[in-house]
Structure 1
Amino acid sequence: MRRLASVQGGTRAAGEDGQRPAARLWHITLSVAGAAAPLQDVRRGLERLANDHPFLLTSRYAPDHAEIRYWEEARDLHDAAAVALRLWGEHRRTAQLPPWEIVGLEVISRETYHQRIAEGYGPPPAVPVGVHPF
């Protein structure tokens, strides 16, 4: 028999044997900001990040801030948030991203994301996919 444990963003199933649940999809919105950088450099850095990591759904950018939205597969919210918090720092050098800091992070379950869209609030679906100015 399986029992359900409540977690932020939904519920998860846990087996009686205490094993962690299977991976789920989480919608991530990562916001970064810092000193202004040349707009072309910001765009190129985000494009390199997207090319290196095709899981990135969309990025929006300005000279002093950017937002990255994507789906992450993880067992729970904590795992998804941990991966998201490492994304910018781990790839800043290889993608030649600006030395900005993370100023916002939202991690929501797939179910919550779709519920928000159906109810008419929350971010619209990322269309078109890719790297775009604000």
Structure 2
Amino acid sequence: MASVGEAQRREGAGADEPRLWHITLSVAGQEAPLPDVRRGLERLADDHPFLLTSRYASDHAEIRYWEEARDLHDAAAVALRLWGEHRRTAKLPPWEIVGLEVIGRETYHQRVAEGYGPPPAVPVGVHPF
């Protein structure tokens, strides 16, 4: 597997140029009514059309999307703020973040091509698990 520096050179990205990062944010907590969870995730997607797909159940959800950021640290920082900053406005359940994966575009596509990464988010939108 290529190092981050090698991947940057191959994609022609300089140290300060933004790159695309694939984010998977997992949240969980006490059960909430499914219609409320769905509406909250739909409001979040309406406010932030960059959200690719959300899957949900009554006690957990997963949000997947692409983030443009200078480096992994910046992408992770934005992802870690997403749920908390929009909990009130989107009327999301008071769940906590229980997982975060941030991978570069090249790594994402390599995983998909090798058959062990997450499948591309089709259909896009908000769906039950």
Map of 2:107 onto structure 1: 112
**Cα pair distance change 1:47/1:8, threshold 3 Å:** farther
Map of 1:44 onto structure 2: 39
Q: How far does residue 11 in structure 1 lie from its aligned partner after superposition?
A: 3.5
Map of 2:54 onto structure 1: 59
Q: Which amino acid aligns with 1:76?
A: D
Of residues 75, 85, 88, the one that matches 1:93 is: 88
Tell me if 1:77 matches 2:54.
no
The whole-number CA distance in structure 2 between the counterparts of 1:39 and 1:9 is 44
Going by fraction, where is strand more abundant, 1 or 2?
1
Structure 2 counterpart SS, 1:21: coil
The whole-number CA distance in structure 1 between the counterparts of 2:82 and 2:107 is 23
Map of 2:27 onto structure 1: 32
Larger Rg: 1
Normalised by the size of structure 2, how large is the TM-score?
0.91
The whole-number CA distance in structure 2 between the counterparts of 1:8 and 1:85 is 24
**Structure 1, gaps ≥5 residues long:** 1-5, 15-19
Q: How far does residue 123 in structure 1 lie from its aligned partner after superposition?
A: 0.6
**Cα pair distance change 1:45/1:8, threshold 3 Å:** farther
Structure 2 counterpart SS, 1:90: helix
Q: Which amino acid aligns with 1:46?
A: L
Runs (4+) of structure 1 exceeding 6 A deviation are: none
Q: Map Cα deviations across residues 22-47 of structure 1 (whole Å, 9 max, x no partner).
A: 00000000000000000000000000
Normalised by the size of structure 1, how large is the TM-score?
0.88
**Cα pair distance change 1:76/1:131, threshold 3 Å:** same
The whole-number CA distance in structure 1 between the counterparts of 2:90 and 2:4 is 34
Q: What is the aligned length?
A: 124
